[in-house]
Structure 1
Amino acid sequence: MSRQAPKPQGLLNRLSWSLRGESGPAVLLVVVTAIALVWANSPASGMYFDLWHQDVGFDFGPMGLHMSLRHWINDGLMVVFFFLIGLEVRQEFAHGSLRDRTRARLALIAGVSGVFVPAVIYAMIVRGGDGLQGWGVVVGTDTAFMLGALALVGPRLSGQLRVFLLTVTVVDDFLAVSIIGFFYSENIRLVPLVLCLACLLALWALGRARQWRAAPYIVVVVALWFSAVASGVHPSLAGMVAGLLVPAYPTQRHKVVAARELFRDFWQSPSAASGRAVSRGLAKGTAVNERIHEFLRVPTAVLVVPIFALANAGVDVRGGLLADALGAPVTWGVMLGLVLGKFLGIGIATYLAVRMGMGRLPQGVGMGSVMGGAALSGIGFTVSLLIIDLAFGTSDLGRQATVGVLLSMVGATLLGWAVFRVAATKLGEVTADLPMTLEPPVDPEIDHIRGPEDAQLTLVEFLDFECAFCAHATGGWEDLHAHFGGDLRYVVRHLPLVDVHPHALLAAQAAEAAARQQMFWEWLDFVFTRQSALERDDLIRYAVEMGLDVDQFIEDLDSDEVVQRVQRDVASAHASGARETPTFFVEGCRNVGSYDARTLTRELEHSRRGARTQYPHGQPRDDEQPAGQGPG
């Protein structure tokens, strides 16, 4: 179980809140698609098709660019969508799931199979003729639709399954956009192509120069788009490669601290100059990749993709076209390629890779849930419609393929719903997420407790002494204590992340050695201000400075009792679903989202009022980041 703040009040606020969630954009796409279909089959259908064929362009001296409105959307506006994909892929490689070799290998196997098998099925059904050039229609998965469907028909808690599917779609999207660029580009022109390469080189140079401002990257990307349009290479490929070249890295705590110091200057002496310094400091605190991604994410979901759907999903099925489409090989090739091909390609490849030891599934995710997610991956709306336009245009084959895409959305969702029901009833896979409840519960005889042992409210933190974010999050106790007083007890448990923090385990044992002399909290406060020096000699020196019995401290430091005490907390973290630090549990429920003192105060107040709520699918709102996204 995880925690969520109540929905905001007011119609506009609730609408904005829902569109930031997982199902909101998917519902919006369904509505827009329905509007396009109704419009295309209404008495005003002529207006619909004429609109997208309107010539739009500009002339600037001897230069100019003119395209139909539909091409401006497909070749221009949609580049923002593919640029966003590139940004996300770069993030995954920098500090996401693709950083883990076993998960990256499993995602690569599933993603490649999820592209290859649908294409083979399509080719086997269509066999030959002009319809064969539409094989690329079945290679892509619409991430927004897939996640929306998962939120509606998937397990109650599906956070880990969501991470797995997103990792697979990263590979899927990369391959799909590469296919568009290499197989659906024509009339390549050399000089503009050289300009494209120069723009890509400029993006690489900006990253190497650690340019933190977003504006230079955007200027180069705009120049890259014009060059790509002129070169004949489809701009989607250029957009995705551009996104891959924008630097991404985990948030660095020292830059956050520097920004705080700048804000203190502004607080003490507010001025335009100090205000600009604060803005620059805040910008430097996060990667330019993430800032651009955050700026583009919601507009892309609620404007770019829906406008694309409105322009491309409208197909006139009057005059017997629907009946003809249902008898056409292209329609069935698209339907079976997406629904059956994705289900078998991703599902079976994942099963075989796991059985052969070539990868591992996230904790809490079973093969039944994987098969359900593989079925939902057959929703291939956005990329599929784009490739239909490139391969068939507005011909009968294009309309038949569009009907296949729309029908496959329904078929993939129904198949996913059925598989998830079977997985829940036959395999017992009612969730596909990490545990959400603290295990074991707080024990005053064992746990370290700050505040009254019988307090009304309990906050538990899993921490790492070498995690810079833990030092500042733990410092929030003073704010929490000032607000709640004796109504709150604060508990800490150890989660030394030894793969990234080489001194964390010894520091945790040192804290327990100090605890054996009733100095745990004093030690915690003291050492968190000295995180840069946690070698054994440093820890012993701290024991001297704090007035501990040093001989006893050294004896306890590596004792079996202390080692077992730390391992108890590590086992508790594993059983409770804590994987990063800091991770907080509010009243025994894992907090998902921000962990600043104000947010934790709000969550504790909700508990005190009995307003315990759940994320329906174990996920935070999109405007929150999962706990533990710092260097720990």
Structure 2
Amino acid sequence: MSTSEPHPDPDQSSCSGSVAFEAQSSRSLRDFIRTESGSAGMLVVAALIALVWANSPWSQSYVDLWHTELSITLGDGGLTMDLHHWINDGLMVVFFFVIGLEVRKEFAIGELVDRSRVVVPLVAGVMGMLVPAAIFLALNPSGEAAAGWGAVIGTDTAFLLGVMALVGPAVSTQLRIFLLTLTVIDDIVAVSVIGVVYSDELALGALAVAAACLLVLVGLDRAGVWQAAPYVLVVLVLWFATLESGVHASIAGMLSGLLVPALDPRRSDVEDAARSFRAFRQSPMPGVQRAARRSLTRAISVNERLQEALHTPTSHVVVPLFALANAGVDLRDGVLGDALGSRLMWGIVLGLVVGKALGIFAGAWTSVRLGWGRLPQGVGLGHTLAGGALSGIGFTVSLLIISLAFESSRLQDEARVGVLLAAALASLAGWLAFRFAARFLGQRDAALPTHLSRPVDPARDHITGPVDAPLTLVEYLDFECPFCARVSGVGKELRAHFGDRLRYVTRHLPLPVHPHAELAALGAEAAARQGRYWDMHDVLFAHQDELELEDLLGYAAGLDLDVEQFLRDLDDDDLARHVAHDVASAEESGVRGTPTFFIGETRHIGPHDARTLIEALESSQGVPRPIG
């Protein structure tokens, strides 16, 4: 790879696999967490403004604002709702649509590709809804108040991540991934409850139109339609039909998001985009520019493009606006006193604060104890208790369900006080649980390891450069990973720069998503038996699309290897154990994608172009980085 060529986004330039090899905190995931965390601060500010406004001398203007009607008309038809309903039944559909997009992406190409990793958060998530609902119904077994049981099953992801950034471990990447998986399950169930339990009388004609829209979305997916416009148009029709059907429109948002396809960029599309970009650079004309933009757009799935466009405005505008419209409880005239004496309020508080923590912890503990699954590497049961406590921040979903469950303004106010009090108490409980886990259980950081678990062994590792060189660079690679091929020349550039001061080491991490990667790794090891590992290393990367057994035998012949011996070695259990040893060391060291580099014994995080790695290696020796 030439460092003068445009380099792909460094945070995305890695392959990831399923089973034990989830993506190494991809940039999209970090962006999601960062956006949600930032949204929490705006949400809190909006809620405080709503509370102050609703309890001020200008409280009537707060009420009047949300009762202001807004109409959209087209000819003789149209839609008229007050601002409160436009937010709850309109803008919040966009919120749930983005959640659906994220869920589809996680199941298709993200953290939930490996279904075995879903078991523990699935059980924890289900228990984290059943226990709170049971506590609530124990206090409110009948009457109008009993309808509010749905308010204790949901979790506000933005609020949870924001508070965790304040009270949680300094590094909590793995715990956040666990909790995000759990809240995915939370969201699916909560939206289903909203759509089924808290809906009005149904209009069958509108429901039929909504069902037809869902079928059209499935058809667009099957047909491989990559433009965003057809999906958006169908979703708008689906939203209107669902609104008219009597089913709460939030379910339309979630279902439509789940049906928008998410795919990893195909190599052919990426290469086509690169060719189009080069053509535009050589001939910057409008027609060439349109073709380049079209090919660049096509390389990214419509799911990810819609998330990119909607996630930030949803988190920074829609959710705070929802809080502003729904958190304004007038606590005067005895409302606060009545709420504190209300079984409804305490059912919500205890359901969210106690029920969520106990349910999630019990579900995780039971799953691990019975061997159904395991917690993510770096996450302890103390972390799940603390995370479960923070999951008691129901806020957005809870407030939405309250507005649907109760017609009485008195009951709505009591329930909203419970949600607000629960958010404060859950935050305090989470802080205390994190302190307990750190002090008494030794569970501080909840992140992947960053230390190379098995030191370089010259007797078994493949090393180029002096074995006693002061600088060490270890690469975990996959011969079928296109990003590994892009950096396959980095080792040569580094050795040219450092000379005998560097030893460059490679280890295998064949990912399950690449069907020929393990055979290619065995082929490299079989070539090593005849002293030609590095030659085979280069040949395999040069022919990534041709890694069948017959291809490997041809490469062995081209390198003048003993082909019969090469074939026998491919079936040697010792070589399989060698590759398995590398895979185990990768998992122990926190490696979750390829290529991954270690500077000495510390995992390198960030871009892996030659210049960046040179700076990182020099920094490891105390050599200052150049300015600029």
1:146 aligns to what?
Answer: 160
Which amino acid counterpart does residue 82 of structure 1 have in structure 2?
F
Alignment root-mean-square deviation, CA = 2.9
Find 1:422's aligned residue among 436, 443, 454: 436
Find 2:558's aligned residue among 542, 545, 552: 545
The Cα of 1:429 is off from its aligned counterpart by: 1.6
- 1:474-485 matched pairs, under 5 angstroms: 474-477=488-491
CA pair 493-17 structure 1, distance change in 2 beyond 3 A = closer
CA pair 18-124 structure 1, distance change in 2 beyond 3 A = closer
Find 2:537's aligned residue among 498, 511, 524: 524
Find 2:105's aligned residue among 64, 72, 91: 91
Could you list the per-position Cα deviations for residues 171-226 of structure 1 after superposition, in whole angstroms to 9, with x for gaps in the alignment? 11000000000111103222222221121111111111100011110111111112
TM-score (norm 2): 0.88
State how far apart, in whole Å, the 1-side matches of 2:53 and 2:616 are.
46
| Number of residue pairs aligned between Structure 1 and Structure 2 | 598
1:505 aligns to what?
Answer: 518
The Cα of 1:303 is off from its aligned counterpart by: 1.1
Find 1:354's aligned residue among 365, 368, 376: 368
The Cα of 1:90 is off from its aligned counterpart by: 1.1
CA pair 599-315 structure 1, distance change in 2 beyond 3 A = farther
Q: Is the 8 A contact 2:474 2:506 kept in 1?
A: yes
The Cα of 1:381 is off from its aligned counterpart by: 0.9
2:27 aligns to what?
Answer: none
Which amino acid counterpart does residue 166 of structure 1 have in structure 2?
L
2:598 aligns to what?
Answer: 585
Could you list the per-position Cα deviations for residues 446-481 of structure 1 after superposition, in whole angstroms to 9, with x for gaps in the alignment? 543456767776543211112233222434556767
1:208 aligns to what?
Answer: 222
Q: SS of the counterpart of 2:287?
A: helix
Find 2:176's aligned residue among 138, 162, 168: 162
Bigger shift: 378-387 or 24-33?
Answer: 24-33
Find 1:262's aligned residue among 271, 276, 285: 276
Bigger shift: 463-472 or 588-597?
Answer: 588-597
State how far apart, in whole Å, the 1-side matches of 2:241 and 2:493 are.
54
The Cα of 1:21 is off from its aligned counterpart by: 4.9
Pair 1:343-2:357 in alignment: yes
Q: SS of the counterpart of 1:500?
A: coil
CA pair 265-112 structure 1, distance change in 2 beyond 3 A = same
State how far apart, in whole Å, the 1-side matches of 2:175 and 2:103 are.
18
Pair 1:397-2:424 in alignment: no
State how far apart, in whole Å, the 1-side matches of 2:490 and 2:308 are.
27
Q: Is the 8 A contact 2:151 2:399 kept in 1?
A: yes
Which amino acid counterpart does residue 67 of structure 1 have in structure 2?
M
State how far apart, in whole Å, the 1-side matches of 2:168 and 2:534 are.
43
Bigger shift: 410-419 or 42-51?
Answer: 42-51
- 1:235-250 matched pairs, under 5 angstroms: 235-250=249-264
CA pair 148-94 structure 1, distance change in 2 beyond 3 A = same
Q: Is the 8 A contact 1:253 1:469 kept in 2?
A: no
Bigger shift: 324-333 or 58-67?
Answer: 58-67
Find 1:464's aligned residue among 430, 454, 478: 478
Q: SS of the counterpart of 2:103?
A: helix
Q: Is the 8 A contact 2:70 2:83 kept in 1?
A: yes
State how far apart, in whole Å, the 2-side matches of 1:32 and 1:376 are.
20
Could you list the per-position Cα deviations for residues 306-345 of structure 1 after superposition, in whole angstroms to 9, with x for gaps in the alignment? 1111111111112232222111111101101111111122
Structure 1: gaps (5+ residues): 5-15, 613-632
Find 1:27's aligned residue among 41, 55, 72: 41
State how far apart, in whole Å, the 2-side matches of 1:35 and 1:457 are.
56
Bigger shift: 603-612 or 48-57?
Answer: 603-612
The Cα of 1:559 is off from its aligned counterpart by: 5.0
Q: Is the 8 A contact 2:201 2:246 kept in 1?
A: yes
State how far apart, in whole Å, the 2-side matches of 1:151 and 1:254 are.
40
CA pair 599-187 structure 1, distance change in 2 beyond 3 A = farther
State how far apart, in whole Å, the 2-side matches of 1:601 and 1:47 are.
62
Q: Is the 8 A contact 1:138 1:334 kept in 2?
A: yes
1:574 aligns to what?
Answer: 587
Could you list the per-position Cα deviations for residues 436-455 of structure 1 after superposition, in whole angstroms to 9, with x for gaps in the alignment? 12223445665434567677
State how far apart, in whole Å, the 2-side matches of 1:61 and 1:605 are.
69
Which amino acid counterpart does residue 36 of structure 1 have in structure 2?
A
Which amino acid counterpart does residue 476 of structure 2 have in structure 1?
F
State how far apart, in whole Å, the 2-side matches of 1:592 and 1:583 are.
8
State how far apart, in whole Å, the 1-side matches of 2:602 and 2:347 are.
47
Bigger shift: 297-306 or 512-521?
Answer: 512-521
The Cα of 1:151 is off from its aligned counterpart by: 2.4
Could you list the per-position Cα deviations for residues 490-548 of structure 1 after superposition, in whole angstroms to 9, with x for gaps in the alignment? 43211123x33343233223223333554333322211121233233322321221234
Pair 1:329-2:353 in alignment: no
2:306 aligns to what?
Answer: 292
Find 2:508's aligned residue among 485, 494, 504: 494
1:52 aligns to what?
Answer: 66
- 1:277-288 matched pairs, under 5 angstroms: 277-288=291-302
The Cα of 1:404 is off from its aligned counterpart by: 0.7
CA pair 292-492 structure 1, distance change in 2 beyond 3 A = same
Q: Is the 8 A contact 2:36 2:315 kept in 1?
A: no
- 1:191-230 matched pairs, under 5 angstroms: 191-230=205-244
Q: SS of the counterpart of 1:211?
A: coil
Q: Is the 8 A contact 2:33 2:161 kept in 1?
A: no
Find 1:231's aligned residue among 230, 233, 245: 245
The Cα of 1:373 is off from its aligned counterpart by: 1.2
Q: SS of the counterpart of 1:98?
A: coil
2:16 aligns to what?
Answer: none
Q: SS of the counterpart of 2:171?
A: coil
Bigger shift: 557-566 or 575-584?
Answer: 557-566
The Cα of 1:347 is off from its aligned counterpart by: 1.4
Find 2:189's aligned residue among 159, 167, 175: 175
TM-score (norm 1): 0.87
Q: SS of the counterpart of 1:140?
A: coil
State how far apart, in whole Å, the 2-side matches of 1:601 and 1:62 are.
68
Pair 1:123-2:137 in alignment: yes
